[in-house]
Amino acid sequence: MAVELYSFKEIEKIKKACQVVVEVLDALSRAIKPGMSTYELDIMAREEAKKRGAKPAFLNYKPPFSKESFPASLCVSINEAVVHGLPKKEQIIQEGDIVSLDFGAYVDGYAGDSAITVAVGKVSKEKEMLMKATKEALEEAVKVCMPGNWVSDIVDAIYRVAKKYGVYPLKNLGGHGIGRKVHEEPFIPNHPTNLAQEKRDYKLRQGMVLAIEPMLSLGTEEIAHDGDRWTVITADRSPAAHYEYVVAITKQGPIILTEYKDG
Ligand code: MG
Ligand code: MG
């Protein structure tokens, strides 16, 4: 497995791309309201990226698991949708939805990638708790991103927080290395089963840059597909939440390259 290691100069460039991604997601989270279509959010993401001289990373991107390219810039995953939600003109956002917005972009040859889950208006107590748990899982996972630790320490951190809240990490999905390309090695599973099955543990080293993205659900560890060939949903259709930060591993510890102003 070839894992890229990045210099401080390169990490600065990845950070620039990450900051554009954060700005785009901030703009989307302020604009989102009941009655909007997910397609409108996608168009807005393209425009916000263009204003900042960035190229959307997911538009026409062909991931290894697919025969086709993704036809949008933004992944919008509502309630039971976990990730890879395909924006649609007919899909309308409602009060009480939790919406994962996942955006990636290239700036000057380096990639940024981040995801946030946005509550639309007033959401249920369970959904609120799930969002809190997922954010905390991400924060705990970031803390163990130190040279000499292992990918399994990240997986354990996510699992520990999920258990604490009585929610579930979803199988067969996870984070990844990032830098010159939006998806690089290593894969960072969100569920320990995937780590054990595929012998995917990997030692963390100075200069590695990782996109960590826990996805937790209220009812199940299993995923399914909803029929549009992209959108991944929970098998029991319980709500899921998703947050993603990019982290550089340095001698001084983890540096979050996706900095949100209000946390
Ligand atoms: Mg990602
Ligand atoms: Mg992402």
Question: How confident is the model over 120-179, as pLDDT tens digits?
Answer: 999 999 999 999 999 999 999 999 999 999 999 999 999 999 999 999 999 999 999 999
* 113 Cα–ligand 1 center, Å: 6
pLDDT at 179: 98
In sequence order, the β-bridge partners of residue 105 are: 56, 112
pTM: 0.96
Residue 178: the pLDDT is: 98
Residue corresponding to tokens 């399994």: 152
CA–centroid distance, 6 to ligand 2, in Å, is 20
The alpha carbon of 40 and the centre of ligand 2 are apart by a number of angstroms equal to: 19
**Which residues are within 5 Å of ligand 1 (an ion), measured at CB?**
113, 211
Q: What is the DSSP letter of 92?
A: B
> Band of the pLDDT at 31, cuts 50, 70, 90?
very high
The share of the chain scoring above pLDDT 70, in percent, equals 97
Q: What is the DSSP-derived secondary structure letter of residue 257?
A: S
Residue 114: nearest ligand to its CA? Answer: 2
Ligand 2 mean position, distance from CA 146 (Å)? 22
Residue 64 pLDDT level (bands cut at 50, 70, 90): confident
Q: What is the pLDDT of residue 197?
A: 66
115 C-alpha to ligand 2 centroid (Å): 5
Instruction: State how far the alpha carbon of 217 is from the alpha carbons of 87, 106, 261, in Å.
Output: 21, 30, 26
Structure confidence by residue, pLDDT tens digits, 79-98 = 999 999 999 999 999 999 99
- Ligand 1 mean position, distance from CA 83 (Å): 10
DSSP of 186-203, one letter per residue? EEEESSHHHHHHHT---B
Q: What is the pLDDT of residue 63?
A: 86
- Output the CA 176–ligand 1 centroid distance in Å: 6
Ligand number nearest CA of 173 is 1
| Cα-to-centroid distance, 201 and ligand 2 (Å) | 21
Alpha carbon of 196 to ligand 2 centroid (Å): 24
Q: How confident is the model at residue 73 (pLDDT cuts 50, 70, 90)?
A: very high
How many A from CA of 15 to the centre of ligand 1? 15
Q: Supply 11's token pair.
A: 């990490």
Residue 263 confidence (pLDDT) above 60: no
| Record: fold of 8-256 | Creatine Amidinohydrolase (3.90.230)
Identify the three-state secondary structure at position 81: strand
Query: CA of 90: how far to CAs of 30, 126, 159, 214, in Å?
Result: 21, 27, 36, 28
Packed helices 8-31 and 38-51: angle between N→C axes, nearest 10 degrees: 140
Cα of 164 from ligand 2 centre, angstroms: 25
| Ligand nearest, relative to CA of residue 211 | 1
State the pLDDT at residue 234: 98
Task: Indicate which ligand has the atom closest to the C-alpha of 84.
Answer: 2
Cβ-contact 106, 17 below 8 angstroms: yes
| pLDDT tens digit sequence for 188-245 | 999 998 887 656 689 999 999 999 999 999 999 999 998 888 999 999 999 999 999 9
